[in-house]
Structure 1
Amino acid sequence: MTFDLEPPRSEQFVALQHVVQRKLGRCLIRLQQYEQLLKALVAEHDIGGPASGLMDVRAARVNALSKKTLGHVVGELTENVLTSDSAASDRVEGDDTPDDIKEIHIRTRFNIALPLERHTETLAGLRTLVDLRNELVHHFLERQDIWTESGCVAAHAYLDACYEQVDERYMELHAWAKSSVKARELMASFIQTSEFQDFLHHGILPGGAGVGWAWSTIVELLREAETNLGRDGWTSLRDAIEFIQTGHPEHTPRRYGCSSWRQVLHESQQFRVRKERSGPSVPTSIWYRSKET
């Protein structure tokens, strides 16, 4: 017994069907391009960990996303990457940095902020894209009659419209990815500057924004002097200055935006200060001790 699954077809009809197949293939290829680019973008959205293992963290994230469906990754994009201007925030949630840090931890994070109306339209467009992908992959033959000439003509028009939608989303995503790459390049350039090195190693904030006193090098040096020179819980500022200038002359108050060491003690808010004066013609002595935490 034999089964005729397809009726006899003319060369004209076969050519028409082949066009449908090529257009379907074109849509699916564009969807796969979109999915690959989307996974690369979302993978870079939020990466953090110890400096020595940061590339391993990134590789694990890329590998995990490679196994996810388009719908899942679009969900990550809409929930974690895309924000409206009104909701954009630099606040980082879910910080899992351990308390007992033994090496530098680095975290990079970016968001794509859109005007509120555009944000709403984009979310709707992305939901439509996922539905369209599922329609093409799972239901195309159910919905499109490609076994008749009129059905093929209708399928041509449908696939042209599908490709236009997919391509519009792809070009949108491509622009986001391009901006992301540019931002990372700018960040990499900044990391090479002395301004960033001062921030990373010494607690001096970029652009004259102040000092992270609690972790600044100059405060660490004052505490080191305290450990080495302290008497009865107090340390002479004059002795501490001499100690620091001998071993680390590059760390001066001016480097940290202060005009004197006394100002460093005051601005840092890390120390208690005691003044002593043994006589009217004797200069005032300054003593300090670390505040209890």
Structure 2
Amino acid sequence: MQSVELQIKNLLLAAQVTNHPVSGPKRAAEISKSTLGGLNSKLFESFLVTAPPISEPREEESNQVIFSASHSVVMHPGDRDRHQADLCNLIEDRNHLVHSFLTQYDLGCDGCCEAALVRLNELNGRAISVFHSLKVVRQSQREIRDKVKDLVQSEIFFNLLVGQPLPPGQDWLMIEEVQSLIEAGKLYADESGKVSLQKGVEYIVHKGGSEDAYTHYGCKSWQDLAAKTGLFSVERQKNPCSGRWEHFYRLGAKIPL
């Protein structure tokens, strides 16, 4: 149970990095002091979500440069519900263990001791299962933090920090789905540099994205998103075999090598 609690605290603490002199330490203290039940609420309210959260900008009175970067793991609703149910059940088991275990099992009886041992092994197995699920999420978080690190060291971040306008299309480079389309273009493009947009979408899903992620950015379709970025050229061609119209895209000159 303690390992599960520690894993959740690590996930939440690493989900936001800030140099704010008040909110940063306050948030860390709140997480450190939270019980397993409180951590469960925080985990599914702000970190394991089904859609990217909307953050509202805050005005700072200080002249100090404040940096804050946060991230969430967007999951399929079914997967998120399963993780939440497993953790809630574990918390209920833990509460029962603390408050009712000794009244339910008479440890002066050999038969009751054997039953108690079976129950404890069962609870331990559930805790291990939840811990390993959180461990997988933690690995995903490390990959996210690596991307944040690359962003902080990039020219894009410097331009944002000093208030310089970004060149057209540069803001789209920070979006994970666009990064995946670029990767797919480099991996699967034919000799002419053209790649099927459907292949790009399949690559996005393979990397953990959703098939309708374009809606998160106000787009009607993947071809709409690809065109709006200004980073790709999008073509529509008829497949000679199926007779169906298909979309293809090419990487544009604005994409860094």
Q: TM-score, normalised by structure 1?
A: 0.52
Q: State whether structure 2 residue 40 is matched by structure 1 residue 83.
A: no
Aligned to 2:102: 141
Give the AA of the match of 1:74. Answer: N
Q: Secondary structure, in 3 states, of the residue corresponding to 1:108?
A: strand
Distance in structure 2 (CA, Å) of the matches to 1:64 and 1:91: 22
Distance in structure 1 (CA, Å) of the matches to 2:125 and 2:98: 17
Contact 1:38 1:73 in 2 (8 A): yes
Question: Aligned match of 1:43 in 1, 10, 13?
Answer: 13
Distance in structure 2 (CA, Å) of the matches to 1:101 and 1:122: 41
Contact 1:45 1:81 in 2 (8 A): yes
In the superposition, relative to structure 1, how do residues 156 and 104 fare at CA in structure 2: closer, same or farther (>3 Å)?
A: same
In the superposition, relative to structure 1, how do residues 108 and 78 fare at CA in structure 2: closer, same or farther (>3 Å)?
A: same
Q: Cα distance, 1:162 vs. partner? A: 0.6
Contact 1:195 1:206 in 2 (8 A): no
Contact 1:129 1:165 in 2 (8 A): yes
Distance in structure 2 (CA, Å) of the matches to 1:115 and 1:80: 15
Q: Secondary structure, in 3 states, of the residue corresponding to 1:105?
A: coil
Q: State whether structure 2 residue 133 is matched by structure 1 residue 154.
A: no
Aligned to 1:104: 65
Q: State whether structure 2 residue 135 is matched by structure 1 residue 184.
A: no
- Percent sequence identity is 22
In the superposition, relative to structure 1, how do residues 156 and 206 fare at CA in structure 2: closer, same or farther (>3 Å)?
A: farther
In the superposition, relative to structure 1, how do residues 208 and 63 fare at CA in structure 2: closer, same or farther (>3 Å)?
A: closer
5+ residue gaps, structure 2, are 173-257
Distance in structure 1 (CA, Å) of the matches to 2:66 and 2:157: 15
Contact 1:44 1:58 in 2 (8 A): no
Give the AA of the match of 1:75. Answer: S
Distance in structure 1 (CA, Å) of the matches to 2:142 and 2:80: 21
In the superposition, relative to structure 1, how do residues 206 and 186 fare at CA in structure 2: closer, same or farther (>3 Å)?
A: farther
Q: Cα distance, 1:59 vs. partner? A: 3.4
In the superposition, relative to structure 1, how do residues 57 and 44 fare at CA in structure 2: closer, same or farther (>3 Å)?
A: farther
Contact 2:52 2:74 in 1 (8 A): no
Q: State whether structure 2 residue 26 is matched by structure 1 residue 60.
A: yes
Aligned to 2:82: 121
The more displaced of 170-179 and 181-190 is: 181-190
RMSD over aligned CA atoms reads 2.4
Q: TM-score, normalised by structure 2?
A: 0.59
Give the AA of the match of 2:54. Answer: R
Give the AA of the match of 2:55. Answer: V
Larger RCO (alpha carbons 8 Å, 6+ apart): 1
Q: Which is greater in Rg? A: 1
Distance in structure 2 (CA, Å) of the matches to 1:164 and 1:113: 27
Q: State whether structure 2 residue 72 is matched by structure 1 residue 72.
A: no
Contact 2:46 2:53 in 1 (8 A): no
Distance in structure 2 (CA, Å) of the matches to 1:59 and 1:37: 19
Q: Cα distance, 1:208 vs. partner? A: 3.1
Listed as ranges, the matches of 1:231-270 within 5 Å are none
Aligned to 1:262: none
In the superposition, relative to structure 1, how do residues 47 and 154 fare at CA in structure 2: closer, same or farther (>3 Å)?
A: same
Contact 1:46 1:108 in 2 (8 A): yes
Distance in structure 2 (CA, Å) of the matches to 1:185 and 1:171: 21
Question: Aligned match of 2:157 in 171, 186, 196?
Answer: 196
